[in-house]
Amino acid sequence: MTDHRISDLTHAVVRHRDEREWGQFHTPKELAISLCVESAELLGLMQWKNGTQLAETVASKREQIRDELADVLHSVLLLASELNISPGDALLEKLVKDTKKYPVEKAKGKNVKYDEL
Amino acid sequence: MTDHRISDLTHAVVRHRDEREWGQFHTPKELAISLCVESAELLGLMQWKNGTQLAETVASKREQIRDELADVLHSVLLLASELNISPGDALLEKLVKDTKKYPVEKAKGKNVKYDEL
Amino acid sequence: MTDHRISDLTHAVVRHRDEREWGQFHTPKELAISLCVESAELLGLMQWKNGTQLAETVASKREQIRDELADVLHSVLLLASELNISPGDALLEKLVKDTKKYPVEKAKGKNVKYDEL
Amino acid sequence: MTDHRISDLTHAVVRHRDEREWGQFHTPKELAISLCVESAELLGLMQWKNGTQLAETVASKREQIRDELADVLHSVLLLASELNISPGDALLEKLVKDTKKYPVEKAKGKNVKYDEL
């Protein structure tokens, strides 16, 4: 399993886009639509399954799941690039906010929203 | 704007999860649900707006958009980690498939699905 | 529990729209975006919960779930009206197709897609 | 174009479900997932298109759009039935709330959320 830099992955998707002159279609809204469409395709692979059946489905559809996950990341990187956002900085700064919203001592082992803690 | 390694970002979200003992709730299906919910929140920020109004909205809601994008990336990394998938490898390998589905000479400047090229 | 005609419900949402002069924003695409955003809000109410916890959540958030479900139906009716589609005819005709895709004798008790039957 | 009663449409989808013994898979959460998956399929039909191109796409994919819309309504009715909610009552009562959130004199011609009015 190779590690990667966000910048290298971003360069790859931006080059793929530019070679095809697709930037003209890639408004932030269209890229957000892509995120919804691809996330729902990923979720659709696991529809109606739970427990053991879910585990079996995740195993048997591993490649499709991997491809859909890649598509979601692809759109994340394109949208971040379009908006001149560093995905890594955004993630780490949001994590600081989440740490305050979900303090360890209150959130530990709880599956509720922060306003229900 | 700092560059980041996928592995460093993954470590950050996994640590955040483990400190809260949230791994027990993070089935692949729940993480895929998260992707849908967060992607739709991101899209919801741009609802009903197009053209100039969309550009203004994207500017005025920049921080919210950045946070939602971070949430989507957060779930991508958790799901990849859960499934023992390298997000970068998955992205680059999917990009090779996309390059075949959308050859430059046929796809250039076209906003159609590969089966309509 | 009152029964309703689709036409009466459609008149109600169309009047609500026209009084506010919102028709100008209601392209089929924006209404499809609404469906995604509202469906994800509905799903978001049940995030991270399963089994007994899910049943409790569905009970305690009943009014929110009911409102989100209403929002989804609202957008279905607006989109159908915009496209001059009869929602009931569309549903019944699609049900005929589904009956062929999922014949009772093959689909009974199975939670798989038609191409896996 | 035939009008329909919600109760008749509900009976049709419930019978379709019961003949296949699918009720065992239809938790409220799975039905909410269906709404997300089907709404995103509907939106996916209009991806990357706007203006004239969107109008052409909506025309050329009319039957697919109609089928996806039917699928969304199908899940709305199943979920409402599962939760013993009258879809029509829920819609009309939510419309009363929306009328208060978006008073005509303030909301007319505006495409903003109620907290921005």
Phi and psi, residue B36, nearest 5°: -65, -45
Indicate the residue of B33, B36, B48 with minimum beta-carbon distance to D111: B48
Of the candidates C94, C68, A80, B75, the residue with the CA atom closest to the CA atom of residue D36 = C68
Average pLDDT of every residue of chain D: 97
pLDDT of residue D2 exceeding 90, the answer is no
What average pLDDT score do residues A46-73 get?
A: 97
| Cβ-Cβ contacts under 8 Å for D78 (sequence gap 6 or more) | D13, D14, D17, D26, D31
| Cβ-Cβ contacts under 8 Å for C36 (sequence gap 6 or more) | A36, A40, B40, B43, D36, D39, D40, D43
Q: Is the pTM of this model over 0.90?
A: yes
| Residue in chain D nearest C37 by alpha carbon | D36
Of the candidates A57, A29, B11, C62, the residue with the CA atom closest to the CA atom of residue D28 = C62
Indicate the residue of C49, C111, C112 with minimum beta-carbon distance to A111: C49
* Lowest mean per-residue pLDDT among A86-90, B74-78, D110-114: D110-114
Q: Give the count of Cβ contacts less than 8 A between chain C and D.
A: 217
Indicate the residue of C21, C80, C92 with minimum beta-carbon distance to D69: C80
First to last CA, chain A: 38
- Residues D13-39 have pLDDT tens digits of 999 999 999 999 999 999 999 999 999
What average pLDDT score do residues A50-60 get?
A: 96
Contact of A39 with B39, CB cutoff 8 Å? yes
- Residues A61-114 have pLDDT tens digits of 999 999 999 999 999 999 999 999 999 999 999 999 999 999 999 999 999 999
Contact of D97 with C67, CB cutoff 8 Å? yes
Contact of A88 with B2, CB cutoff 8 Å? yes
Rounded CA separation A35/B69 (Å): 10
- Residues B12-67 have pLDDT tens digits of 999 999 999 999 999 999 999 999 999 999 999 999 999 999 999 999 999 999 99
- Residues D62-86 have pLDDT tens digits of 999 999 999 999 999 999 999 999 9
Measured in angstroms, the CA of D17 and the nearest CA of chain A are apart by 14
At B2 the pLDDT is 84
* ipTM surpasses cut 0.90: yes
Which residues on chain B are in Cβ contact (under 8 Å) with D36? 36, 40
* C117 or B85, which is more confident: B85
| Residue in chain B nearest D112 by alpha carbon | B48
Question: Cβ–Cβ of A25/B54 closer than 8 Å?
Answer: no
| Residue in chain B nearest A39 by alpha carbon | B36
pLDDT category at B1 given cuts 50, 70, 90 is confident
Distance of CA C30 to the CA centre of its chain: 16
Question: Cβ–Cβ of B43/C34 closer than 8 Å?
Answer: no
Question: What pairs with residue A5 in β-bridges?
Answer: B5
